[in-house]
Structure 1
Amino acid sequence: MNYLSQNKLIILLFLVKIGVFSSCQTKVEETNPSESRAKIRFEFDFDPNQQRLNNLAQPIGIAAGNAAQTPTFNSMSVHYIEFAPSAFTQLGEGEILYKNEEVNSSKNGFNTAIDFSKAIVSPKGTVFLEVPIKDIAVGKYEWIRASVAYQNLSIKYDLNNIQVGSENINLPNQEGTIAGFIGYNTRIEDFTVKNKTISVNDDKKQGFWAFETTISIPQYNYTANEVTTGQSAGTTVVNPLAATSPVPAGSCVITGSFSTPLTITGKETNDITVVLSFSIQDSFEWKDTNSNGKWDINVGSQVTEQVIDMGLRGLEVKLK
């Protein structure tokens, strides 16, 4: 092969490589120009002034013999979100937009459990989920069902009868952090309450909680950071559609209505933000054995006033 032929071959191979490379770089996916690229974006809000409701969405006060407080919510996780067209839409027959991963379980009367390791935990005012509008069925939606799986909140309490040396002292108006699992059944491996991480490696039924508190008594050079766990007796699950569209016992599927019905056309060009606004008014409730209106923990006798309820007290759905 002469010199000229060699050059032609080199140039030809070079052009082939360029052609292959260019074809890989310039491939364009076909799209439907009429298909919406907009998204539904979900945020949480925790409203201390939103009305306090019972399971049937009726206004309710605090039960006799109990006390309650409005906590500060740090974060939350839901494991299920569904749009429902009407009050007669049964659970699961609406438009299911999100479902947290689940695992097989044989505990607490269920066959599955929420996989907490896959949960999306979010504070208020932050987008925690986006769903393309093109994936949502065209139609008008009046209701949302959101199944709450986890909540992290700060509460006030009194710590009494602490033995330090030869003295017993009280520490009123302390602040601690509660991590509460209020889904129907949750597979929990490790989780952090505030600063401390604890291992569970088990499936826990609705109402399992862990409480972290830091005790500091500078005058005695005493500091302790402890985590205790417990189980609440029940959880309020607000459902204004109980008569027409009930939810299973033991679930935490909270139902709320859109402030204005949401119509999906499939041709939306702008994102829509859906705010799930939960009532946290007096949502942490306990048996007030000494009628002082405070959650008391007696260190000396190792007795804590029983937590009765830490369920959310209503859901309003707002668009922005």
Structure 2
Amino acid sequence: MKVYLVSILLILGALGFASCEDNDDTIDLYEPVPSTSEPSLVVKFKFDKDQVRLNNIGQPSAVASGNAGVSPDFNAISAHYFELAPNAMTQLGQGAVLYHAPETTMGGSNAIDFSQAKIVGEGETFLRIPLKDIAAGSYEWVRVSLAYQNYNIPVRASGVDYEGTLASFVGYNTYIGTHEIGNSIFPVNANRLQGYWAFALADYPYSVEGQAPAGATTVPNPIASTSPIPAGSCVVTGRFANNLTITGNETKDVVVTLSLSVNKSFEWQEVVFDGKYEPAQGETVVDMGLRGLIPSYQVAE
């Protein structure tokens, strides 16, 4: 869906995000655990501006003619769901589901509890799961559903370049108390559906929040033909170069890195063809989906 932005005050109101649908109540739930001495699966995130840029079915995709894109500078991220899948025929939820974010009905309907969200930066530990607690097997694919993103983007208004920070809640539904961007405070105290966002300029006392409408957002799934995800889901799927084998008898940590492509993931339709995002000129945001997942692993020294 295209929404035309007419001023800097509506800078991010048209961002389209993929929704994260709630999963079956019988899904396995594994909470993040503190560091222990026992061998664990350690999960971390990486943001790669040079990683191949994919479309919804996992094929390389260039920025469309007439559009431009920028690779955001990510500060932090959180996920709602994490699963290891044995093969391309494994249906969503039928693999080893290792994490499902804490939820609450405090805001009425069931929602992700943002107060309990595990938010990390690049290279920080998101999950640490004892390997003995993971079903033994050979795993080819990873599925991860993102819930929250925090990143910086450049904008131009009246010929002047600015930088601001966006907090984006992309889970299917999130209960939020109060959250902050720098010195800007956003009291919500309610549920917010996918697409709720808040934005603050870095060097000016300006902030704004809003609810993005449902729209088309790229959610790469290379095995869509054999193991589809629900329409509107934000479950990104990626394949290990070599299967991750878990025996339960490991003696060292296994570190899994989830490399997310942010290669021109913020995309807009240009009016002024200068490669600068200028919402005041009526330039239209057309996509903000992450552009692919490449998981890898290594045994800790």
> Smaller-chain TM-score range?
0.7 to 0.9
Three-state SS of the structure 1 residue aligned to 2:272 is coil
Whether the aligned pair in 2 keeps the contact of 1:77 and 1:148 (CA below 8 Å) is: yes
Distance, in Å, in 1 between the alignment partners of 2:236 and 2:188 is 26
- Counterpart contact for 1:259–1:319, Cα < 8 Å: no
For the structure 1 residues 262 and 243, does the alpha-carbon distance in structure 2 shift closer, same or farther, using more than 3 Å as the test? same
Instruction: List aligned pairs for 1:182-201, cutoff 5 A.
Output: 182-201=170-189
Count of residue pairs the alignment pairs up: 261
Q: Distance in 1 between matches of 2:221 and 2:276?
A: 29
Gaps of 5+ in 2: 1-36
Q: Which has the higher helix share?
A: 1
Checking the alignment, whether the CA contact within 8 Å between 2:257 and 2:295 is kept in structure 1 is yes
Distance 1:131 1:304, change over 3 A: farther
- Report matched runs for 1:133-282 at 5 Å: 133-160=131-158, 170=159, 172-215=160-203, 224-231=205-212, 233-282=215-264
Q: 1:228: how far off?
A: 4.0
Partners of 1:123 and 1:93 in 2: CA distance:
29
> Which structure would you say has the larger RCO, counting Cα contacts within 8 Å and 6 or more residues apart?
2
Q: Quick check: 1:319 aligned with 2:297?
A: yes
- 1:122 maps to which residue? 120
Maintained 8 Å contact 2:107/2:175:
no
What TM-score comes out, normalization by structure 1 length? 0.76
Mapped to 2, the partners of 1:313 and 1:229 lie a distance apart of 24
CA contact (8 A) 1:207 1:234 kept: no
Describe the shift of the 1:156–1:193 C-alpha distance in structure 2 as closer, same or farther (beyond 3 A). Answer: same
Q: Offset of 1:179 from its aligned partner?
A: 1.1
Counterpart of 2:121 in 1: which secondary structure? coil
C-alpha distance in 2, partners of 1:188/1:46? 25
Cα distance in 1 between the residues matched to 2:284 and 2:181: 20
TM-score normalised by length of structure 2: 0.80
Name the counterpart of 1:80: 81
Aligned to 2:90: 89
Residues in 2 aligned to 1:114 and 1:308: alpha-carbon distance in whole angstroms: 27
Deviation at 1:304, TM superposition (A): 6.5
Structure 1 118/234 Cα, relative in aligned 2: closer, same or farther at 3 Å?
Answer: farther
